[in-house]
Structure 1
């Protein structure tokens, strides 16, 4: 399977490839970065009696495998909310996926949904962090407030809010696309998981916004 090429973006001297699969490949670090995968959300909703297609979980993991195969990263960094809630049957899919990628170094920056006991991740050789400073970047889950950004020692990468950009056209057509949002001191990644929504975010005129289409990433602002 051929993966779409993505859009090159240089930030603080680092070469980033913004991918239509809603992840970033950081070339200097050979690192794949993704936020808000929300594995286990399907099982969580089905347990509550809400009808959700069973294959969504496998689709997200399959897409991760495609990205690993295409870009051959040395490490994979999850910016929180890797697993949606308590342990459920969907964990087994992740365990099997991990066994297929034993050589891949995996880091999880804990999010508010990451409540599974640490030992389960440790058993799968997943490194856990509250935050992760690597190169000129600080990997987080929650966005930093303006006050905290003033004193941050590195440019922040985060997720959590599932950002989208609202576009309007002629004839009252409109669409909200998932997006990468790069501000002066902080970048917010779109949610990787398919079973997630998106919220149109307000942004400054100086922000660089990249909308995600099915097979490409486009510069919007």
Structure 2
């Protein structure tokens, strides 16, 4: 689905990412690689295949779309270093023709060396790419239109029998937009929606209008 935000056409993908064709740029928020490993080490039983599913979806996008740059909008790797990071690095090396950027998020706590050794360009401050200001957490003050992650936005859809389901979504307000978490096993935060807001839930890999 293509939507016009701040005068720019953005393609909302059912894989929970945004493709900005003008720059051949893929925007991904909150991949949270290594989260399953983190919880298992704490004795919490979680699915072991979640990292593989995340990477598989990313591979499909990189192979099927004309992408020159990927921007991870924070929380790329959920925990301290562990061997699953090397698996991800091997994956990145197989797409050497694509530039990978990371806007540092609150969970990106590894040393800079771990990112740069796989040619990931890291940014500690928001990135200005007119008309957007791209950040991990939503900004309180900015010039332009802020695209952010961190919140894991979700919206509740209700049926006639009062049953409801919370779905990940893209959210665009007057001056700020939120991307859903790309990673599996991340949960979502129910948003308070205003009449003028644009909201696009994701159901089984499809983007819908709300």
TM-score normalised by structure 1 residue count: 0.92
Corresponding residue for 1:157? 147
64-73 vs 10-19, which moves further: 10-19
Corresponding residue for 2:180? 190
Equivalent position SS for 1:107:
strand
Query: Could you tell me how far 1:72 is from its partner in structure 2?
Result: 2.3
Whether 1:33 aligns to 2:27 is yes
Q: Distance in 2 between matches of 1:205 and 1:90?
A: 43
Counterpart pick for 2:161 among 171, 190, 194: 171
Whether 1:101 aligns to 2:95 is yes
Equivalent position SS for 1:59:
helix
Q: Note the residue ranges of structure 1 that are not aligned, 5 or more in a row.
A: 1-6
Counterpart pick for 2:136 among 141, 144, 154: 141
Q: Distance in 2 between matches of 1:86 and 1:72?
A: 32
46-55 vs 105-114, which moves further: 46-55
CA RMSD of aligned residues (A): 1.0
TM-score normalised by structure 2 residue count: 0.96
Query: Could you tell me how far 1:203 is from its partner in structure 2?
Result: 2.2
Corresponding residue for 2:207? 217
Whether 1:131 aligns to 2:126 is yes
Q: Distance in 2 between matches of 1:111 and 1:101?
A: 23
Equivalent position SS for 1:212:
strand
Equivalent position SS for 1:219:
coil
Query: Could you tell me how far 1:53 is from its partner in structure 2?
Result: 2.2
Query: Could you tell me how far 1:89 is from its partner in structure 2?
Result: 2.0
Q: Deviations over 1:7-45 (max 9, x none)?
A: 111122321110111000001010000100000111111
Whether 1:78 aligns to 2:72 is yes
Whether 1:59 aligns to 2:59 is no
Q: Distance in 2 between matches of 1:15 and 1:115?
A: 33
Q: Distance in 1 between matches of 2:40 and 2:95?
A: 28
Equivalent position SS for 1:178:
strand
Equivalent position SS for 1:202:
coil
Query: Could you tell me how far 1:96 is from its partner in structure 2?
Result: 1.3
Residues 167 and 176 in structure 1, CA contact (< 8 A), matched pair in contact too: yes
Query: Could you tell me how far 1:217 is from its partner in structure 2?
Result: 0.5
Equivalent position SS for 1:28:
helix
Corresponding residue for 1:119? 113
Q: Distance in 2 between matches of 1:161 and 1:36?
A: 9
Q: Note the residue ranges of structure 2 that are not aligned, 5 or more in a row.
A: none
